A and B are shown apart, each in its own frame.
Chain A
Amino acid sequence: MKVTLWGTRGSIAAPGPETAYYGGNTPCVAVEGNQGTTLVLDAGTGIRRLGGALPCTLKRVDLLLTHLHMDHLQGLGFFAPLYNPALEVHIWGPPSAQYDLRTRLIRYLSPPLFPVLLRDLPCKLSLHEVADGDFTIGEFCVQSELICHPGPTVGYRIVSENAVLTYLPDHEPALGVPDFPAPPKWTSGYSLAHKADLLIHDAQYSNAEYATRIGWGHSSMEHALRFAIHAKVRSFVAFHHDPAHSDKDVKKLLKDGVAAVKPSFPVVGGAENKCFTLGNNSINLLEQEENG
């Protein structure tokens, strides 16, 4: 399984020289299987570059949305496969209690927010609603589960023959838990993350920032690392960087978090273009970064 980060910023795109290392694009991750299955996780602004990099021989691509907040959806209209009539595009995502996925997507893919209607997209488009459940895409078994974040939001556990990736880009498992972490049974996202080879997890805030943003749906670096230890993951990528954080700020957050929590697994700051290969009990961080 090959995992490539195309957008790691949270909330809003934050391009600029001060964010050039970790990147300014909002969430998008590509997952490629050994047999050619291609998954795209979220449609933040990073999806535009990914769309241009997909092989022209590709017949099908599956886009798994965790939720429909703007930073995870804004790139969708600029995803090149949507305009390719020869390509099957499957979009998976959560409905709300009142509206199906199509209705929710149309809120963005329609005027005045976007000029092209969902029904006019030339690709062979299929929509699939997910909440709590398992499904199969090519060589991958995917488990989705609702997690703690405002509005219907799922996390994904993607299992191949020899590797497990868990993707929880927007997640606040510490909400309302006085002595975090709670026992596994009472911890949001635990079963998705349990013993994953690689966990990509929200780590937006410092402890001081989190104290003033409780309930916003995101984690401090320390909470994210404590969650990762609790779930016994094998490696960790800090994700959904705050748009106000410079590269220097993110590096300091990582350093301080690792020093406070002392994880026994590799901790990497999610940076655009960073690529990982997982499989057979090995995790190859192709652009290895030191802990913190």
Chain B
Amino acid sequence: MAQMEIEVILTRQLASYLATPIFVVDKDGRLIFYNEPAESILGRRFEETAEMSGAEVIAAFSPMDSRGKKIDDAKIPLRIALAERRPAFLCFWIRGLDGVKRQIDVTAFPLIGQANALLGAVALFWEVQE
């Protein structure tokens, strides 16, 4: 098992201390961590879901628009952050792993480390309360 880059390790450590829901993926889009505040929105503890590929994440959370139509993968903020190395924002709906549909605001940004290396991306998200 390869050790994560220090920038990713520190990101996880920071996320684990914050009350802001945070979701961390590696450079391949693989989910590698989400923190406790994110668990209540995603509907399951991280320890129970463990790591997932990008495709598995999308299949698990079913991102959709207000009419329930699947969102194009290329419009998902984390995908944009990884593919275009820039921050991105979107408001959309997911179905949590507890089966509950929730509206969330998501801002994602790329993790660009030393030597300009793309190491992953971070999504900050918030449940929209109607």
Measuring CB to CB, which residues of chain A are less than 8 angstroms from any residue of chain B? 94-97, 131-132, 145-148, 152, 175-177, 184-188, 190-191
Listed A/B pairs (11) with beta-carbon separation below 8 Å: A97-B114, A131-B115, A132-B5, A132-B115, A146-B6, A146-B113, A152-B114, A176-B17, A185-B1, A185-B3, A186-B9
Contact yes or no, B6 A148, CB < 8 A? yes
Count of residues in B whose CB is under 8 Å from the partner chain:
18
Chain B window 1-36, contacts with chain A (Cβ cutoff 8 Å), 1 for yes, 0 for no: 111111101101110110000000000000000000
Contact in complex: B2, A147 (CB < 8 Å):
no
Inter-chain contacts of A184 with B (CB < 8 A): 1, 3
A19 to B40, CA, bound (A): 54
Which of chain B's residues 88-110 have a Cβ closer than 8 Å to chain A?
none
| Chain B residues within 8 Å of A, Cβ to Cβ | 1-7, 9-10, 12-14, 16-17, 113-115, 117
In the bound complex, residues from chain A placing their C-beta under 8 Å from that of B16 are 176
B contact face: mostly helix, strand, loop, or mixed: helix
Q: Is the CB of A185 within 8 A of B6?
A: no
Which 6 pairs, one residue from A and one from B, show the smallest C-beta to C-beta distance? Answer: A176-B13, A191-B3, A146-B6, A131-B114, A190-B3, A185-B1
Of listed A187, A188, A191, residue having the most chain B CB within 10 A: A188
> Which of A94, A176, A190 contacts B10, CB < 8 Å?
A176
User: By the criterion CB–CB under 8 Å, are A188 and B114 in contact?
Assistant: no
Q: Is the CB of B1 within 8 A of A146?
A: no
User: Which A residue's beta carbon lies closest to that of B114?
Assistant: A131
Minimum CB–CB distance from A100 to chain B (whole Å) comes to 11
Tell me the smallest distance from the CB of B91 to a CB of chain A, in Å: 31
List the B residue with the shortest CB-CB distance to A175.
B13
List of B residues within 8 angstroms of A191 by Cβ? 2-3
Once the chains are docked, how many angstroms separate the CA of A148 from the CA of B11? 12
* Distance between Cα atoms of A152 and B5 in the complex (Å): 13
Q: Are A187 and B7 in contact (CB under 8 A)?
A: no
Find the B residue at minimum CB distance from A178.
Answer: B16
For the complex with contacts A131-B114, A148-B9, A190-B3, 4 further pairs of A-B residues with Cβ separation under 8 Å are: A146-B114, A186-B4, A187-B9, A188-B6
Q: Are B114 and A94 in contact (CB under 8 A)?
A: yes
The verdict on A146 contacting B7 (CB below 8 Å), with A175-B13, A176-B16, A176-B17 known, is yes
CB distance from B65 to the nearest CB of A (A): 36
Distance (whole angstroms) from the CB of A67 to the closest CB of chain B: 12
B10→A148 contact, CB < 8 A: yes
- When distances are taken between beta carbons in the complex, the residues of chain B under 8 Å from A146 are 5-7, 113-114
Q: Least Cβ distance of A267 to chain B in Å? A: 24
A96 neighbours in B (Cβ, 8 Å): 114
